[in-house]
Chains A and B, each alone.
Chain A
Amino acid sequence: MLLASLYLPADAHFEATSDGFAFVFADPTTRIQVYERLVPLRGAREIFDAALGAPTTIPYRECLTRAGEHAALLGVATTARHGLLGVAYGDDSYRLVVGHTTDVTRAGDIAACVRRLTLELPMGLGDDRRRRYRYSPPAGWRSLTRHGLITEWFAPKFPSNPTMITVFPSSPLRELPSRAFDRNIHEMRWGGFSERSSAGPLALAMPQLQAEEMHFVGTWRDGAPAYVDLVVLFDTARTYIVRLDHDGTHTDEYRAVLYDLARSVQPIGRTATQASAGAAAARALLHVAD
């Protein structure tokens, strides 16, 4: 409640609910409702349609929260109602903020409050953690998640075509590529990989991050040939690793898929800097039980 009260309009009172909280106004047609930790993850369009009670083609705006979490905002304006909906995604749950009013003179204030709750209210996840990031997945490949944040993409006709791309969560450390390569080859050896040859590190040209790659050739414990291509992307704050496993029969084709994915990686960012004393004080409150 303490954090949420920072956003409470002067003419509203706070109301705790079983699934979050609400800002309640004297006018019963004006309300801001916040739903916390909703599961499972769903697409933004599906969430907005469910909140509105009907499918809608109103475009929403994709954005980032102050902590760099992915979010979306959708405005609604009809003759009867004005409102703004916001969704902010965590790793495995999301927050939904719904604000509405029939008083057109209040629409701007309500929308501003919803926007702040969506983009500024901390989700308590810790900014500096291993986390997913935006990229374009390979078209037509199926996927699975392992351990929550690792996603594996399987080429068509897998497993007879033993080709897959693994996308690891971004690390909050700016790790030198050489260390990332050493660590990955060490972990592969735990899995039974026996290295025969390697190439790199080689610099890779990427649009938004620095990158290097290495190529490994060897065998797995069962003797199956193993070709592993690692791409490590990095900036001053984070490291992003993607890995291609294949059998060497269509190397150029699948490396092209790997490079396309790597090129599409969007660095995890923030919408505003946190240099002000006010922001620092707000962060201190993060450690207070809410």
Chain B
Amino acid sequence: MRVALSVPSPARLTTGPLLVSSTDDDMLLDTLAKRDAEDPVLGPRSNARTHDGWPFTMVRACTATGERVAAMYRFGAWRGYVLVELDGASNDASMGVSNGEANGASNGEANGASVADIIAALSTASPDWRGDGEVHCIAELFE
């Protein structure tokens, strides 16, 4: 599974493989948001849809070094995730997460990108649910 997505610099994008939901989606999303992070503090989850109508759930997290937004796109039993990380964001309450809560919008910026920009970018994602190497029709064998 691939997600075509551009995030504003200097945010970093990590995309994940196709997953079939066999576990708790919320737990999986939280785990992603906290992955390898120092002192992560999660905000609440929120649901949205991309411009093409794909539903996704996202959660923000504040870490010792910056902020993150983890998102999980859904299509039936398929799941695809992305993690966008922003280093150097302050822990100012205006940035987003403090005391375990996430503000609905961020007024702060980190080196030219804001969490609001990232959230906006997530809604432009175009998931391609095909698994790596999958062949879906005979014509694809003889291209």
In the complex, 5 of the A-B residue pairs with CB atoms within 8 angstroms, ordered by the A residue number, are A42-B135, A44-B142, A135-B139, A137-B140, A142-B128
Residues of A30-83 whose CB lies within 8 A of B: 40-45, 62, 70, 72
Contact indicator A157/B52 (Cβ below 8 Å): yes
Bound together, the chains give a CA A142 to CA B140 distance in angstroms of: 13
**Residue of A41, A135, A158, A167 with highest tally of chain B CB at under 10 A:** A41
Total residues of chain B contacting the partner, CB 8 A:
20
Residues of A158-203 whose CB lies within 8 A of B: 158-161, 167
A151 within 8 A of B: yes
The residue in chain B whose Cβ has the minimal distance to the Cβ of A136 is: B139
The residue in chain B whose Cβ has the minimal distance to the Cβ of A72 is: B142
Contact indicator A133/B138 (Cβ below 8 Å): yes
A219 within 8 A of B: no
B27 within 8 A of A: no
Residues of A within 8 A of B138 (CB): 70, 89, 132-135
Residues of A within 8 A of B (CB): 40-45, 62, 70, 72, 89, 132-137, 142-145, 151, 157-161, 167
Contact indicator B136/A145 (Cβ below 8 Å): yes
Give the number of residue pairs across the A-B interface with Cβ within 8 Å: 66
Contact indicator B141/A143 (Cβ below 8 Å): no
B36 within 8 A of A: no
| B137–chain A nearest beta-carbon distance, Å | 5
Residues of B within 8 A of A132 (CB): 137-138
Residues of A within 8 A of B53 (CB): 157-160
| A89–chain B nearest beta-carbon distance, Å | 6
B24 within 8 A of A: no
Bound together, the chains give a CA A43 to CA B136 distance in angstroms of: 11
Contact indicator A167/B142 (Cβ below 8 Å): no
Contact indicator B134/A42 (Cβ below 8 Å): no
Residues of B within 8 A of A135 (CB): 137-139
Residues of A within 8 A of B12 (CB): none
* Contact digits for B103-143, partner A, Cβ 8 Å, 1 yes 0 no: 00000000000000000000000001110011111111111
Bound together, the chains give a CA A159 to CA B134 distance in angstroms of: 21
